Structure 1
Amino acid sequence: MTTLSDRNILILGGTADARKLAVALAGKGTNVTLSLAGVTLSPRDQGVPTRVGGFGGADGLAVHLHEQRIELLIDATHPYATTISRNAEIAAAKSNTPILALRRAPWRPEAGDMWYEAGDLKAALAIIGSEPKRLFVALGRKEIAPLATAPQHLYLIRSVDPVDAALLPPKHETILDRGPFALDGERQLLQNHRIDAVVCKNSGGTAAYAKLRAARALGLPVHMLNRPPLPDVPQGSDVETVIRMACEYLQT
C-alpha cells in the first residue's frame, strides 16, 4: 500500500467546498493544486497552490493531467458548471486519470416553502408572469441577460463582482456581496427592498441557504432553476466523504 505523501491531485474548484477539500487533502501531505476558471475577478485566498484560467477544453485538460502527472482529478465545481464537468470526465478518460466529484446535495423544499421550479431563467420569468414585481435575483453575473426580456420587473441583483452593464435589465439595483449570508441579514434585505419573489439556483450547501429561510419566513415565492444533468462519475455529497474516497483511491 502506498502513502498519501507527494501524490499529485488536481481539484477543479470555485466553491467554498472545493477550498475546504483542497486544504484538508494538502494537510494529509498530498501535492494539491486548486484550479479556478477565473470567473470571479477577485477570488479569496485558497490556502493551497492555485492556477487560474481554462485548459483549452477537454483535450487541453487531458494534456495537463498527463504532463503534470496528476494521479487524481476531483471535480468540485459549482453544480451548474456543466461544461467543465463534462470536460473533466472526457479528459480523465483520455488521460487514464481517476476522477471523483464533489456534488453537494440539492436543497429540498420544506413546510412553508413556495417553490416554483423551472428549467432555466426564461422559463422562470414566464411563470412569474407579466404583472410587474420586485424580484431578488441571486444568479451568476454572466447569466442574467434573459432578465431584459421581462423589463416590467424591478430586479435586485446580487453578485460577487460587478455585472456587465450590457447585461443589466432596464430597471435594476445591484448589490456586491459575498456569502456566507445570515438569516437576519437576508430577511432584512428582502423586507427593505420590498421584494415580491426570489429567483435563484439550487446550489445546495449552507453559504447561500439563508435567503430561502428568509423567503419562507416572509411567505415569499422562490423561483428555483433546476440543476442540469452532470456526468455520472464516482462522487460524494460532502467534503468529508470525498476526502475518504480520495484517500482510498490514492492508497491502493
Structure 2
Amino acid sequence: MTPPRSTVTPLNILIFGGTGDANRIAADLLQEFGSDVRLQLSLAGRTSAPRLPDGIPVRIGGFGGAEGIISWLGSEKIDLVIDSTHPYATQISSHIAQACHAVATPCVQFQRTAWQKTDKDRWIMVKSLAEAAQILPDHGKRALIASGRKDLAHFEGLEKTWLLVRTVESPKEPFNLAFGEWLIARGPFTVEGEIELLQRHNIDVIVSKNSGGDATEAKILAARELNIPIIMVERPGVSPVEQAEKTQEIIEKIRNTLAKH
C-alpha cells in the first residue's frame, strides 16, 4: 500500500459500476491508496439487490444524461472518473465520455478482456440481439438465452425454438415467454453445473454476449465441451477515453496523478 500523504487533499474518484469488476477495482484502490483517495461508486439501480463493496459510499440512480454527470462532477469536485460499467452498456459510457470531455475531467474506461474463440468453439458472430433472434431458428430447437434481461423482446414470437431464458432478475420490460421457461440465477457458475443444465434441458444452441470475465465464462467452456454452437453478439466499440484492461493500469495512473496533485 502506498504510504498516506496526510498533508495533501485526497484525490476524488468517481467509479461507475454495476459489475463485479467495479467492486474489485474500488476495493483494490482503497487498499492501495487508503486516505489518499476518496472513492464514490455510482450504480444505475437496475438490479434490486446489488453486491456492494465495504467501506465505500454508493450512489444509486441515474444522472439524467451527460448534463447530470457534468453537474455531479462539479458539485463533488471529482478529479478522476473510472468507467467500469458493463461492456455492452454503451449509452451510459457515451454519457460519461461526453461529460468528462466537456469539463476536462480525466476518465479511464475499464474493459475486461473478451472471451477468445478457439478451434473447438462453434461461434456464430452477430452484431446485435435482433440479428441473433432472427437467425436463432436456423441453428437450434432448444436455446439457452444468456444475454441479460435487456432487449429480450427480440425473442418474442419464436415458435420453432424453445427458450430457456436465464437472467439475474425478472426483466422490467414485458416479455411474453409463451414457448420456454424462466431461470433466475446469478453467477459465478461452474462448468460442471452448466454442462448439467444444458444436458438436462437438451439445449442445442446458446445466445450470449461476449462479456468476458470469469463469472459467466463457464457456459462458454461447457458449450465447447458439448460441441454446442453459440450465437455470439460482438463487443461494441470502446468509448473515446483512455482504456485499461487491468486494475494495475488504473493504479499506475492514479499514482502518477497523485504525484502531480
Instruction: Indicate which of 235, 252, 256 corresponds to 1:248.
Output: 256
Aligned-partner Cα distance in 2 for 1:5–1:207: 37
Residue 66 of structure 2 is matched in structure 1 by: 58
1: distance between equivalents of 2:154 and 2:236? 18
8 Å CA contact 1:100–1:246 kept in 2: the answer is: no
Aligned to 2:42: 35
Equivalent pair of 1:144/1:168 in contact (CA under 8 Å): no
Cα deviation code 1:18-61 (max 9, x no counterpart): 10001111222211111011111110122221111111100110
Is residue 85 of structure 1 aligned with residue 93 of structure 2? yes
1:105 aligned to 2:113?
yes
> Offset of 1:146 from its aligned partner?
0.4
Distance in 2, Cα, partners of 1:5 & 1:195: 56
Question: Is the alpha carbon distance of 1:111 and 1:15 closer, same or farther for their aligned partners in structure 2, counting shifts above 3 Å?
Answer: same
Q: Distance in 2 between matches of 1:228 and 1:68?
A: 30
Q: Mean Cα displacement is larger for which, 104-113 or 238-247? A: 238-247
Does residue 14 in structure 1 map to residue 18 in structure 2? Answer: yes
What SS class does the counterpart of residue 170 from structure 2 fall into? coil
Task: Provide structure 2 residue ranges, at least 5 long, that are not aligned to the other structure.
Answer: none
Which amino acid in 1 is paired with 2:51? R
Q: Deviation string for 1:46-104 (max 9, x for gaps)? A: 22211111111001101100110001001000110001111111111122211111011
1:191 pairs with 2:199: yes
User: How many residues get paired?
Assistant: 251
Q: Which residue of 2 aligns with 1:144?
A: 152
* CA positional deviation for 1:214: 0.1
Q: Could you tell me how far apart the structure 2 residues matched to 1:39 and 1:23 are?
A: 22
Pick from 170, 182, 186: which aligns with 1:178? 186
Q: Which amino acid aligns with 1:117?
A: M
Q: CA RMSD in A?
A: 1.8
Distance 1:234 1:6 in 2: 22
Which among 200, 205, 209 is matched to residue 201 of structure 1? 209
Greater shift, 136-145 or 185-194, is seen at 136-145
TM-score by length of 1: 0.94
Which range is displaced more, 38-47 or 193-202?
Answer: 38-47
Q: Where in structure 1 do 4 or more consecutive aligned residues deviate above 4 Å?
A: 2-5
Moved more, 11-20 or 224-233: 224-233
Percent identity between matched residues is: 38
**Given that residues 151 and 169 in structure 1 are in contact (C-alpha distance below 8 angstroms), is that contact kept between their aligned partners in structure 2?**
no
Instruction: Report if aligned partners of 2:15, 2:42 keep a CA contact under 8 Å in 1.
Output: yes
Alignment TM-score, normalising by the size of structure 2: 0.90
Unaligned runs of 5+ in 1: none
Is 1:44 aligned to 2:88, yes or no? Answer: no
Cα deviation digits, residues 162-217 of structure 1 (max 9, x gap): 23472133212111111111111111111111101110100011111110000000
102-111 vs 234-243, which moves further: 234-243
Task: After superposing the two structures, state which structure 1 stretch, 124-133 or 169-178, moved more.
Answer: 124-133
How much has 1:249 moved relative to structure 2? 2.7
- Report deviation, 1:149: 4.0
In structure 2, how many angstroms separate the alpha carbons of the residues matched to 1:233 and 1:24? Answer: 22
